[in-house]
C-alpha cells in the first residue's frame, strides 16, 4: 500500500518547488509523451518479470557474461537488460527480434563528469542502439544546493536523448530528505521520464522509504526505478507496492524463480 504524503512533507515539497520557480527553472515538455506504468499487483515471483531490467554493470563483465545476461532476459521475458555503454551494441545484437529493451548508463557511477561529456556519451550510446538511458546527477552540486547546475545537467542529457527515455539516478543513499525531494523535482522539470533510486555502487542500495518519498514527490508524473541491493522476491514486491514501476536487479533470475507463492 502506498502511503499518502503528510502535510509537513507536502509543505516541504511545495517550498522547494517555489524556490526552483524563483531560480527560473522552467518545466520542460518531454520530447516523448510520458507513459508511466501503473503499479502492478504482484502475487508470485514471475509477476515481477515485466518490471525487471536485468542488470550487469560490474567492471569485470565480459562479452560472454553479456550474452548470458541477454539469454536470461529472453528466457524469463524481462523488461530489458541494463549494461555498460561498451556492451550496448552486443546486447542489441543478442536481443534483435525480441521486445527486450537495451538500457545503458551515462555519467556512471559517480555523476561527476562534465555535462558536455555526458551529452556526447548519450549521443554515442543511442547511435549504438540504446533504447533507454540512465544518467547519474552531479551529486555534489545537489548537496551544494546548486539546483541550477543539476537542472542544466539533466536537461542537457534529456535534450541529447531526444525520443529516448531518460532515467535520472539520484543516489538516494547519499542524500538527506530535502535533497531527495529536490532531485526528483529537478528531474521532472528537466523532462526526464523516470527517477531512479541508486547506482548500487555507493553507500547503500534502495529502500522502501526512498521509493515512498519519491512517489510522494512525483506522483504518477514520472516512473520510479528501484535499483541496488534487490536480491529476493519479498524485497522486490515491497518496492513495487511502495510505488516502483521498474526494478533494476542483477539477481533477477533468483528472484523470479523463488518457490514462494503468495495468494
24 touches 187 (CB < 8 A):
no
Catalytic annotation, pick one of 118, 167, 196, 212? 196
In which residue are the cell numbers 551515462 written?
A: 106
In 3D space, the residue among 199, 196, 200, 262 whose CA is nearest the CA of residue 233 turns out to be: 262
74 is catalytic: no
Catalytic annotation, pick one of 118, 167, 212, 225? 225
Dihedral Cα 112, 113, 115, 116, nearest 10 deg? 170
Q: Is the peptide bond before 91 cis (omega within 30 degrees of 0)?
A: no
Retrieve residue 110's grid coordinates: 559517480
7 is catalytic: no
48 touches 233 (CB < 8 A):
yes
Q: How far is CA 84 from CA 19, 109, 218, in A?
A: 36, 10, 27
Retrieve residue 42's grid coordinates: 504482484
Retrieve residue 256's grid coordinates: 523470479
Question: How deeply is 250 buried, as exposed, middle or buried, from its count of CB atoms within 10 A (0-12, 13-18, 19+)?
Answer: buried
Catalytic annotation, pick one of 134, 153, 167, 215? 134
Contacts of 56 (CB under 8 A, 6+ apart): 65, 66, 69, 81, 82, 83, 250
Retrieve residue 145's grid coordinates: 544546493
d(CA 82, CA 230): 15
196 is catalytic: yes
Give catalytic residue positions.
134, 196, 225
Amino acid at each position: 500500500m502506498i502511503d499518502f504524503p503528510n502535510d509537513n512533507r507536502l509543505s516541504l515539497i511545495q517550498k522547494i518547488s517555489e524556490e526552483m520557480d524563483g531560480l527560473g527553472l522552467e518545466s520542460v515538455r518531454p520530447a516523448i509523451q510520458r507513459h508511466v506504468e501503473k503499479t502492478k499487483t504482484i502475487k508470485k515471483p514471475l509477476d515481477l518479470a515485466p518490471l525487471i531490467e536485468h542488470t550487469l554493470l560490474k567492471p569485470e563483465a565480459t562479452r560472454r557474461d553479456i550474452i548470458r545476461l541477454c539469454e536470461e532476459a529472453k528466457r524469463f521475458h524481462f523488461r530489458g537488460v541494463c549494461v555498460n555503454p561498451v556492451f550496448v551494441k552486443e546486447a542489441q545484437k543478442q536481443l534483435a527480434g525480441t521486445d527486450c529493451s537495451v538500457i545503458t548508463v551515462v555519467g556512471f557511477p559517480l555523476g561527476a563528469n562534465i555535462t558536455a561529456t555526458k551529452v556526447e556519451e548519450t549521443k554515442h550510446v543511442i547511435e549504438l542502439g540504446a533504447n533507454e538511458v540512465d544518467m547519474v546527477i552531479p551529486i555534489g552540486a545537489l548537496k551544494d544546493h546548486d539546483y541550477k547546475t543539476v537542472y542544466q545537467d539533466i536537461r542537457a542529457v534529456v535534450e541529447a536523448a531526444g525520443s529516448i527515455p531518460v532515467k535520472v539516478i539520484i543516489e538516494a543513499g547519499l542524500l538527506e530528505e530535502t535533497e531527495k525531494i529536490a532531485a526528483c523535482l529537478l528531474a521532472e522539470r528537466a523532462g526526464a521520464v523516470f527517477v531512479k533510486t541508486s547506482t548500487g555502487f555507493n553507500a547503500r542500495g534502495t529502500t522502501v522509504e526512498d521509493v515512498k518519498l519519491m512517489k510522494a514527490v512525483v506522483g504518477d508524473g514520472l516512473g520510479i526505478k528501484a535499483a541496488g541491493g534487490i536480491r529476493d522476491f519479498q524485497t522486490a514486491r515491497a518496492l513495487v507496492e511502495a510505488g516502483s514501476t521498474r526494478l533494476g536487479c542483477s539477481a533477477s533470475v533468483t528472484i523470479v524463480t523463488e518457490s514462494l507463492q503468495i495468494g
